[in-house]
Amino acid sequence: MKSSGSDVATSSAEALLEGWRVDQVKARRREVKALDKAIGWLRLVADTEPAEKRYGLEMPVGGDGCPRIGEEAVAEFAAFAQMSPRAALSYLADVWDLAWRFPETLAAVRDGRVEVWRARQVAATLRSVPAEGARYVDEVIAPIAHRVGMARLRRMVVVAEILSDPDAAVARARAAAEGRSISVSGTGQPDGLADVFGRLDAADAADFEAAIQEVAAQLAESDGDGRDGCGGGREPESLDVRRAKAVGVIARRQLAGSAEETPDAVTRVVHTYVHLTRDSSIAQVEAGNTLAPVERVAEWCRTAGTKVIIRPVLDLAAPHTRDGYVPSETMREQAILINRTCVHPWCEHPARACDLDHITPYNPSGPPGQTSSTNLAPLCRHHHRLKTHSGWQYQHLEPGVFLWTTPAGRQYLRTPTGTTALSAQPRAA
């Protein structure tokens, strides 16, 4: 029996993917060997003779706790490796940090669990952290660095850095707050445009973004027919242009006094959960999936026009069921707080901005209780479409844990700590 054309194409595609995977594994092994050789060279340079005697002036390579290296040694490496001095110093600093400040992460690199580029990101991000803080982060990050996407890894690194020294984090936050600014420049440019730059408090920035989105949407509605105010036809404006125009609309409304606000009017609504421990100076803030000093959260709440609503703590383990298709607000909030993000493998889209998916599709003619805590999970719109229309399937194993199967039969385990590939090759048909 002859194979169909689609079978041949599928076989060829799988062979190419498998070949790509094999090449990637080989490349990663070569990269690890190169990293180890660079570490060995740095150790030799640092240990053979005092750096200032053999290579002239010393220079810091890596963060706190790393032996200093002679600057001529770095220059020699750069020339030999055909790198710019900046690129060579960056590479050597990363690998030297891994050797001295992040031994657990380096061990994960050597046994193939963590790619070199991920480990270098950790090292570079934490270069200014004292050695003790780096060791704390290393112990937290190394076991899971291979199971999360880069955006989440960066957030986790920042969170671990804060937790390693909360007092220093509060001090940095206070100092950073003094750097807030807004500047408008180029108002006399011949093209009639100006540049606006700013660094804002996170809550103020969220308010500003929400206002821009709302006004840009209003402009889109008025622009929907692609006509100008004089009846002439024109192309609809892009989203970027509408967002820029929205800033002007917001400013003119304020200047005209048309915001219709009173001193007691509610102008700020921040939906967030703040988790505290006894005597803690750091709060976990859901918005942005980050941490903030408690005093900063208090400042947000004291801002004029802010409405603070205290909600009861949800029992995340409590089962909830309803007969209709639409989940209750409690069920939705429970799913968001358990999962925090879209539960598709590697996705980090915030759960609060996701659709709430019925894992087993809802059947209007089916039994009651199909909408339940164990049958709901947040999926971003993109992955919701994939699950609905392209053959991706998943099972709820326990709160926050899902087993995904791709159309090709590969399986991934998604947990609160990240994603694990369970099968490198598809299942046999």
pTM, two decimals, is 0.67
- Looking at residue 159, its pLDDT comes to 78
Instruction: Based on DSSP, count helices (H) and strands (E) in the chain, helices before strands.
Output: 14, 15
State how far the Cα of 321 lies from the Cα of 371, in Å rounded to an integer: 6
Digit-coded pLDDT (tens) for 341-371: 999 998 888 898 899 999 999 999 999 999 9
b/e map of 320-341 (b: 16 or more CB within 10 Å)? beeeeeebeeebbbbbbbbbbb
CA proximity to 403, closest of 416, 389, 393? 393
- Looking at residue 262, its pLDDT comes to 47
Q: Give the contacts of 375 (CB within 8 A, at least 6 positions apart).
A: 358, 359, 360, 396
Digit-coded pLDDT (tens) for 277-313: 667 777 777 665 667 787 877 777 776 666 777 677 7
CB 344 within 8 Å of CB 414: yes
Regions of the chain where pLDDT drops below 70: 1-10, 47-58, 186-191, 223-234, 258-278, 286-290, 303-306, 310, 424-429
DSSP-assigned letters across all residues of 298-353? HHHHHSTTB-----PPP-TT---EESSSSPPHHHHHHHHHHH-B--STT---BGGG
- Looking at residue 226, its pLDDT comes to 46
State how far the Cα of 399 lies from the Cα of 315, in Å rounded to an integer: 12
